[in-house]
């Protein structure tokens, strides 16, 4: 099992409530959303934005298949956004159990 999969399983745990450094999320975005994410190109310079056709219609995403992950103070991501990202990846059927 890779570090990325272990990290997702850790984040999936209901007891997980820590802020995550922004550098920990980029490897996950590269694996599950290659060439579909950007950083700092949305309103508010400290945001990750995932844009993917497969996210259209998902309740956590915009109508265009957009999912925004704000970065608190340009350094950390709140656990609520981590949980949402894990839920999206899990519902796409791409995360290890």
Confidence of residue 44 (pLDDT cuts 50, 70, 90): low
> Does residue 96 lie within any of the structural domains?
no
Percent of the chain surpassing pLDDT 70: 91
Position 35 confidence tier, pLDDT thresholds 50, 70, 90: very high
pLDDT at 97 over 60: no
Does 72 fall in a domain?
Answer: yes
**Phi, psi at residue 19, to the nearest 5°?**
-75, 150
Residue 42's pLDDT is what?
A: 59
Question: Would you say 77 and 85 are in contact if contact means Cβ atoms under 8 Å apart?
Answer: no
Whether 36 is in a domain gets the answer yes
Q: Which residue has the higher pLDDT, 93 or 13?
A: 13
75 domain residue, yes or no = yes
| Domain annotation covers residue 39 | yes
Residue 96 pLDDT exceeds 90: no
Residue numbers of the domain that contains 68: 3-91
The answer to the question of residue 97 being in a domain is no
Count structural domains, the chain. 1
Reported pTM: 0.85
- In the block, tokens 């890779």 appear at 2
What is the mean pLDDT of the segment spanning 26-51? 86
Task: List own/partner pairs for 83-91 with CB under 8 A and 24 or more apart.
Answer: 83/11, 83/16, 84/60, 85/25, 85/28, 86/8, 86/11, 86/12, 87/60, 88/55, 88/58, 88/60, 88/61, 89/8, 89/28, 89/32, 90/12, 91/58
Q: Closest Cα partner for 46 from 83, 21, 11?
A: 21
The overall average pLDDT reported for the chain is 88
The predicted pLDDT at position 82 comes to 96
């Amino acid at each position: 099992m890779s570090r990325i999969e272990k990290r997702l399983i850790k984040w999936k745990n209901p007891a997980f409530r820590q802020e995550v450094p922004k550098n920990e999320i980029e490897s996950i975005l590269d694996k599950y959303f290659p060439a579909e994410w950007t950083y700092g190109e949305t309103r508010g310079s400290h945001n990750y934005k995932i844009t993917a056709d497969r996210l259209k219609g998902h309740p956590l995403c915009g109508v265009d298949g957009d999912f925004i992950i704000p970065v608190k103070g340009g350094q950390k991501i709140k656990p609520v956004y981590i949980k949402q990202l894990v839920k999206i990846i899990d519902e796409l059927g791409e995360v290890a159990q």
